[in-house]
Structures are given as C-alpha cells and as structure tokens.
Amino acid sequence: MLILASTSPYRRELLQRLRLPFETARPEVDETPLRGESPGQLVRRLARAKADAVAARHPGAWVIGSDQAADLDGRILGKPGGREAALAQLAAMGGRSVQFHTAVCLRRGDHELAAVDTTRVRFRALAAAEIERYVDAEQPFDCAGSFKCEGLGIALFEAIETHDPTALVGLPLIALAGLLRQAGYAVP
C-alpha cells in the first residue's frame, strides 16, 4: 500500500502522474517553524514528520510526506492564507530571486528514503496593479509564495531554474520516482 500523507490537491494530482495506486491521509502535523530553523531545515523536518505521523497509523505501508517553503533572504514564506498576505508576499518578491525548497520523505517502518529539491525563481519587477490582478484572478492563498506556476502565475517570472519542474508545484516527482524505485516499485 502507498499513502500520500497530504490532503493537498496539488500533490495528489502530481502523484497521479506516476500511475501507481495510492490513498491519501491527513498527517495532523504542526507546521510552525522552530526558532532559528532555516527554510531547508523546516521542509526536511516537516516532510519526515508527515510521513512518520501517517506511517504510525498504517504499519507496513509506504508513506510519502512532502513539504515546501519559499526562502526570501533566509526568511520563510509559507502559504499566505488570504489576499493581503498574498499581495505582500508577491510585492516583496518582485524583481528578486527566491529559492523554493521542496522535501520528500518515503517511509515504511524504520526504512526511510528522502530527497530535497531547491528551485530558484526569478521574479520580474511587479507593479502593484499587476499583483492585484494576478491575486484576484487566481487566488493562490493555499500556495507557498502566493502563486501557481502551473497557471497564470508563470507570467510573474523571468526564469525558473530547477532540476525538477514538479517540485515547484509541491512534490518533486523525479526524486520521488527514484525513491519509489529504491523501495521496489516499478516506475514507470
């Protein structure tokens, strides 16, 4: 059995691309950053915690945990949750480069496999009216960094530098496919 420790529709849609049967489960993990925790440390810890929480309820199953955070000069930018926070995040990122750290952890019992992807996004200079039009059109309130690169958000960028384009959406499928092969899955 394969379980995605997430209720994210974005991660579920990404995992479906691998055409493996899986279930989803809510991990019930506190996602509050720890004092002094870097964005990279945060996503590693949370991906592991999510996989651990669901694996404890489903012994014998392989469980996938994943987490993502935006890193603006070492400051963690998570999901905005609402319009004003999304506007502020995008205004802060306009004309700048932001790193997005996406971790994935595959766990069954004591066996753990993990990987982290870092994607660099170069935002173009953004006028306040552009940001407002974008946020009102796509309402990316549940997305780290306040955009959906798979949608209209792509118009906000000058470039995306990545080893895995799915990582920016929330689940690094290239890394995950490798972890699943290590675990014995036939992918593809």
Q: Give the global pTM.
A: 0.90
Distance of CA 160 to the CA centre of its chain: 15
Residue 137 has pLDDT above 90, yes or no: yes
Q: Residue 100: what pLDDT? A: 94
pLDDT tens digit sequence for 80-120: 999 999 999 999 999 999 999 999 999 999 999 999 999 99
Which one-letter amino acid corresponds to residue 174? I
Q: Residue 173: what pLDDT? A: 97
Which member of 30, 52, 67, 136 is catalytic? Answer: 67
C-alpha separations of 50 from 12, 40, 43, 124, 128 in Å:
15, 16, 10, 34, 36
**Cα 30 to Cα 39: distance, rounded to the nearest angstrom:** 15
Our answer to whether residue 67 is catalytic in this structure is: yes
Q: Which of the following CATH numbers is that of domain 2-182: 2.60.120.650, 3.30.70.20, 3.90.950.10, 3.40.50.1970? A: 3.90.950.10
Question: Does residue 188 have a cis bond before it (omega within 30 degrees)?
Answer: yes
Q: What percent of the chain has pLDDT over 70?
A: 100
